[in-house]
Amino acid sequence: MKKLLVAVLLTAGLAGNGHAADENSIQIDETFTKAKTWLSQQNLTLTGSPSGRDDNAAFQQEAIIFFGESVGNPDARTPAQREQGAKRAAVVVAQRAVAEYLNGFALVGDTLVKDGMLQYDTVRSAVAGIVKGVQVVVQDYSKEKDTAIAIVKLGMHGPKGFASAIYEKMFKDPDLKKTLTEVDGKQALKYKHSVEPLEEKYDGLIIDATEQNFKPALINRIFSTKKELLYDPSKVSQKVLVEQGCGEYTNSVDKARAALGSRGVKNPLVVKAVGTVSAADLQVSDEDAVTIFSANQKGNFLAGAKVAFVLK
């Protein structure tokens, strides 16, 4: 019987901008030099724990990274069998943890992927397929501790990304696609207003949500204070949504400008969120709603998902 010591950690860091380790961060044991070297080369730092999750980091770095840990089998016949068995078990532990983690992602509003799986076969098949395709990027073994770890990686967007697989399934399922514009099971009101003249021309949108209890999700939406829908993924082309998602996620307005700038945005409109409809849905003031609506009529930036969310 193999004895498993489970440790599943979400790895996070801003793309191209890793975080220095501090005394409170969770670190891989010093004996696992191969794993530590890989993390250093990728400019990533372990910041998760079995009891916590960091969705912000997963979206900001466009990747979900876990590690599973397992001790050797005392019944193995040779040291080599003991090592290989521990490595294989560590991969299984990490893959199982990824599946559990993905089930906790917000799909639409307060509905989690695990809830959606009960209603939609398309979501179930997407998650099952993605878990099978999780990439094992590092396997390491410590003879001293007779323990192996495996680091696995899953992209958020792109051809094999988790979010991309869900988006593709949603667009193919009419019932599931309908939920994109629903609130509490009812069709949300569509925002309507006359277009007002603006002094500037805007080609993108930054929503400062640092004062709200807001989290990134597969589907993030923007509403007026009257719960009129201003922005949702149904307004985004499927190609853009699959490749880039429904927005950029950063922890400062300056980083949001830079993220949108890499996509050709030169003058984004910056507004503050004033509330939430759900943890994944923001509200803006009536004045800002008019400005967003009017700016988009000229710039059409919502269709390109040229939106950035600034998180706590």
Q: Tell me the average pLDDT across 166-178.
A: 79
The string of DSSP letters for 55-78 reads: HHHHHHTTEEEEEEEEEPPTT-SS
What single letter denotes the amino acid at residue 296? N
Q: Quote the longest CA-to-CA distance of the chain.
A: 78
Which of the listed ranges 124-128, 238-242, 304-308 does the model predict with the highest average pLDDT? 304-308
Q: What whole-number distance in Å separates Cα of residue 95 and Cα of residue 23?
A: 28
Summarize pLDDT for 62-100 with one digit per residue, the tens: 888 888 889 988 888 898 999 999 999 988 888 888 888
In the prediction, which pLDDT does 16 show? 34
144 has a pLDDT exceeding 80? yes
Reported as a single tens digit per residue, the pLDDT across 175-225 is 778 888 888 888 899 999 999 999 999 999 999 999 999 988 888 999 999
**Cβ contacts of 9 within 8 Å, gap of 6 or more:** 26, 46, 47, 48, 49, 50, 66, 67
What is the SS3 assignment for 181?
helix
Question: pLDDT digits over 247-265, tens only?
Answer: 999 999 999 999 999 999 9
Average pLDDT value over all residues in the chain: 81
Is the pLDDT at 102 greater than 90, yes or no? no
Query: For 50, which DSSP code?
Result: T
- What is the reported pLDDT for 29? 79
pLDDT at 178: 82
pLDDT at 118: 59
Mean pLDDT calculated for residue range 17-31: 55
Does the model's pTM come out above 0.75? yes
